[in-house]
Amino acid sequence: MSSVSEIEYTKKSIPAPLRNAGFVLLAVGLVLSLLGIFTDPQRSAFNNIILLMMLISVSVGSLFLISLEYIAGAVWSTPFRRIFEHLASIVLVLPIVALPILFNLHDVFHWMHQEVMDADPILQSKAPYLNETFFLVRVGFYFAVWILFYFLLTSNSKKQDKTKDQKLTKRNITISAIFLPVFALTISFAAIDFMMSLEPHWFSTIFGVYYFSGTVLASLSAGTFIMVYLSKKNLLFKGISEDHYYSFGALLFAFINFWAYIAFSQFLLIWYANLPEETVWFLQRWEGSWMYISILTIIVHFAVPYFGLLSQPSKMNPKRLASMSLWIIFAHYLDLYWIVMPTFSESGFVFGWIEIGYFILGLGIIISVFVFKASKGNLIPIGDPKLKRGINFRL
């Protein structure tokens, strides 16, 4: 193999439009969400959960994609791994985003009220898991584990930029192998704790997988959008080919189908069995105007991106990729909104400036954290032994 030093990479600053867009979105989002906290604290707390899950999706999902690359020995994604490493740094702000929820736990989680717990034998039997202390311990554990693995994975990768030591790749493979099962458990339990426990009577064994499918979609589409944007501005490397775009498009397409598969599996099993304790969750989402949101989720999250990325040329087209990945980020937000908000407003959906504010805040955090990290570090892992092969990757 050709040596690493052949790659020409000069660090350039992140273009101002992206930097400014991130800053403006962050500022507007912060103002709107703070206003929301003062005017309607309960609604804001529910929105905060959506925001938190959205950021977990993008950041922890990126960690998953990074470790997947190491485990699978993937070559095509190596030049873009640094994008996902920068996105994964959002794990560092997760505790701050989670903080307002922790102050508002009783507004959001029905089961945290002692009098509700006492009156309900079903909830009492779940009390060993659903209690405030254990909940806080778990949440702390998730954040600690994610941040730990973020540092383990990215510090090795950053060190490699200077030392070009191949052993670091090997060490990261080991770390990834440990991280993947940890990721599977933490992401499932985080989904259960933050979203399934909003309706403590209801349960679905596939719920963790369902959230995972959205997680990968969100992080992958965020990465895809940034990849297209940066390569258009010539910030990545020379010679990005259709085969690179196609790989991103195919992976996105695969996970759109995976999400639909899992979402439909969850629905079909509950619909078929027709058990009252399971159907209540879907009935709630079919009640009143929630029905339109349910149908909209199917269209936005499955039908549009499915046909948008179905053909081979559309997967190779960077413009289509960029628009579709933005669309999927919005679809993931809609999906989370559909999961979380019916608990807050049972009769029909509510969508106002608070929801918009939190969505804007989410976009602002993603872009700003990425810009902040990317302006400090390199945009491609210049020391990686697979980089040259990754750049020359052809299908």
Any contact of residue 2 with another protein (CB under 8 A)?
no
Q: Which of 141, 151, 264, 351 binds another protein (CB under 8 A)?
A: 264
Q: Does 311 bind another protein (CB under 8 A)?
A: yes
Which range touches another protein (CB under 8 A), out of 29-37, 46-54, 99-107, 264-272? 264-272
Number of separate helices (H) and strands (E) present in the chain: 18, 0
Q: Assess contact for 245 and 321: CB atoms under 8 A.
A: yes
- 392 in contact with another protein (CB under 8 A): no
In the numeric block, which tokens belong to residue 228?
A: 């297209």
Can residue 352 be called a binding residue for another protein (CB under 8 A)? no
CB of 277 to another protein, least distance (A): 17
Per CB under 8 A, 394 contacts another protein = yes
Q: Which of 359, 203, 381 is nearest to 279 (CA)?
A: 203
> Which amino acid appears at position 45 of this protein?
A
Q: Roughly how many angstroms between the first and final C-alpha of the chain, as a whole number?
A: 18
* Half-sphere exposure (Cβ direction) of 213: Cα atoms closer than 13 Å: 22
**For another protein, which residue of 155, 312, 347, 392 counts as binding (CB under 8 A)?**
312
Among 134, 141, 271, 292, binds another protein (CB under 8 A): 271
> Is the Cβ–Cβ distance between 390 and 244 less than 8 Å?
no
Enumerate residues 106-125 that contact another protein by CB under 8 A.
none
Asked if residue 309 lies in contact with residue 249, where contact means CB atoms within 8 angstroms, the answer is yes
Segment near another protein (CB under 8 A); pick from 111-119, 218-226, 304-312, 334-342:
304-312
> Would you say 137 or 268 has its CB closer to another protein?
268
Q: What's the number of CA atoms in the CB half-sphere (13 Å) around residue 168?
A: 19
Which amino acid would we find at residue 234?
N
- Cβ 268 to another protein shortest distance, Å: 5
The region of 93-101, 130-138, 158-166, 262-270 touching another protein under the rule CB under 8 A is 262-270
Work out whether 135 is an interface residue with another protein (CB under 8 A): no
Residues 217-228 as b or e (16 or more Cβ within 10 Å = b): bbbbbbbbbbbb
Question: Shortest approach of another protein to residue 253 CB, angstroms?
Answer: 13
Residues found near another protein in the complex (CB under 8 A): 264, 267-268, 271-272, 274, 310-313, 394-395
